[in-house]
Structure 1
C-alpha cells in the first residue's frame, strides 16, 4: 500500500489514492481497464490532471506510476508531501524521526515548544492546528481536543492559553474557578494537571528567561 503524507488538493482525492495503488499492482494497464475498475469516476478528466502533474505516465496507451517515492528519510522536512510504501524500510525510518515545532503569538512573548512525529500523530497543539487547517484526519486523541476547541482561530486560542500558562511564572499552583475551554484544552494536551486540591500545576518544563514552555 502506498501512503501519501501531507497530500495536496490533487493527491488527497480518494480516486487518486485508489488509482495509484491499483496501478502499483498491475502491468500494461490501458484506459479501458481503469474505466472498468472505477466506473463511477470521471476517469478521462482526472487522468489528464494526474498526467499533467507528472504522477502518471502515458506511453503507447499504457499507464504507469511516476511518483517521486521517498528514498531516504535523512533530509525530509516536516509537512513536505511524501509518497512512501508502507512495507518499505524508509517508511519505518520516517516514522521514527522526531521534529520540534514552535508556537508563538502576538499577545505575549510565550513560546510553546513541542515534539512530533512526521505524520503529526502526537497529541500537540501545533499538530492540532495544522490538521484542522488542512482538513486532515485527526487521531482519536486529537478528536477529544476537537470536541473542546472545534475549528478555533489559532491566534485567538494561543492568546488565552499562553496567558494562563504565564501565571506559573509567579505561582506553583493556579486556581481556575470557572469552566474554560482553553484551560480544559491545556489539560488534555498535558501542559497542566490538577492536584488533590483541585488546583492546576504545570506539567511541562518552563524556561523562565526565554518564556518557553517545553512539552516533550
Structure 2
C-alpha cells in the first residue's frame, strides 16, 4: 500500500507512513476489518505495534471502538480510479482543462496545489498514475508545475524535494544548484526570465543552467535563450467543478498529461512592479 498525504500534519503523516509496523498494520486492517488487539499481535510481531497504533489513533488514521480496530482513511484501487475517470463530470472537466486558456489553466493548477496543502491522507493498493503539483514562490515570480513521474524534472518539484534531502540528491539539478535558498533562487530565476523576455543578454550562471535543465529555457539555432513555457502576469479563474478531493484532482491532471504525452507541465507567473 502506498500512502499520499499533505497539509498541516504532513511531517507526522510522513513519519508514520515510513514506519514498517504501520505499513503492516494497514495491510492487515485493510484485509481484516474490525480486528481485535490479540489478532493484530498474533499477525504483526513488531515490538512497537501498540505504540504505532496509539500514534495512528492520535492522527485519526485508525479508529479503536469497542476494542476493535479499523482504518479511518480511504484506500483506493485501480478499479475505483477507472470508475472515477469514466464519470461524466470527470470527462467534462478533462475536456474543459484541455481547452482552457493559459490563465484559467494556471488557476486550475493553483487550485489543485491549494487542495494538496489541506490535511489529507489516503492509501493506494494498486499501481495508479497520479499527478503531483509543486510551487516555488518569491516576491518576483511563482513557478508552478504538475508532473506524473517520480524523477525530479521541474524546479518547484526540486525545491519541494529539498525537504527530503535524499530525494533531492538524486536529481541532476542537485549537482548544479545544491541546497540553495529557494527565495534567493526565485529572485535569480525571475531576473533571468525577465531579461530573456526583454531579449537582453543573460550571463552564464548556475541559475541559467538550472532553467535550461528544467526546460524553462532553451537556446535557438543562433544560441539565443528563449522561453519554452507560458509566462503570465495575472491568473485567470478556475472553472473546473469536479469534487474538491485530492485524489480526483491527481487523477485529472495525470490523465491530462497522459493525453498530452507529457511527463510534466509548468507555468510562470511574474509579479510586475
Please, which of 44, 50, 55 is the counterpart of residue 50 of structure 2?
A: 44
Shift of 1:118: 8.4
Q: Please report how far the alpha carbon of residue 192 of structure 1 lies from its aligned counterpart in structure 2 after TM superposition.
A: 0.8
Change (3 A) 1:33 1:132: farther
Larger radius of gyration: 1
CA offsets, 1:133-167, max 9 Å, x none? 3x287499x72223332332110111212111121
1:82 to 107, 115, 121: 121
1:176 corresponds, among 193, 203, 222, to 203
Structure 2: stretches of 5+ with no match in the other structure: 85-89, 94-110, 236-265, 269-273
Q: 1: distance between equivalents of 2:165 and 2:69?
A: 29
Query: What is the CA distance between 1:83 and its match in structure 2?
Result: 0.7
TM-score of the superposition, structure 1-length normalised? 0.68
Distance 1:117 1:65, change over 3 A: same
1:69–1:82 Cα contact (<8 Å) kept: no
Alpha-carbon distance in 2 for matches of 1:153, 1:138: 17
The answer for the alignment partner of 1:116 in structure 2 is: 146
1:170-213 alpha-carbon deviations (Å, 9 max, x no partner): 217x4535xx2211111111111133454432222344xx3999
Which of 189, 192, 195 is equivalent to 1:164? 192
Higher relative contact order (CA 8 A, sep 6+): 2
More helix, by proportion: 2
Alpha carbons of 1:161 and 1:171: their partners in 2 closer, same or farther (altered >3 Å)? same
Cα distance change of structure 1 residues 32 and 203 upon mapping to structure 2, 3 Å threshold: same
Please give the alpha-carbon distance, in whole angstroms, between the structure 1 residues aligned to 2:136 and 2:11: 25
Give yes or no for the alignment of 1:193 onto 2:253: no
The whole-number CA distance in structure 2 between the counterparts of 1:53 and 1:39 is: 22
1:57 correspondence with 2:63: yes
Partner SS for 1:10? helix
Contact 2:135–2:157 (CA under 8 A) maintained in structure 1: no
State the secondary structure of the residue aligned to 2:116. coil
Q: Distance in 2 between the 1:132 and 1:139 partners?
A: 5
Partners in 2 of 1:214 and 1:55 — Cα distance?
35
- Contact kept, 8 Å, 1:121 with 1:127, in 2: the verdict is no
Q: CA deviation at 1:67?
A: 1.8
1:36 CA displacement = 4.4
Q: 1:11 aligns with which of 13, 37, 53?
A: 13
CA RMSD of aligned residues (A): 4.1
Residue in 2 aligned with 1:152?
A: 180
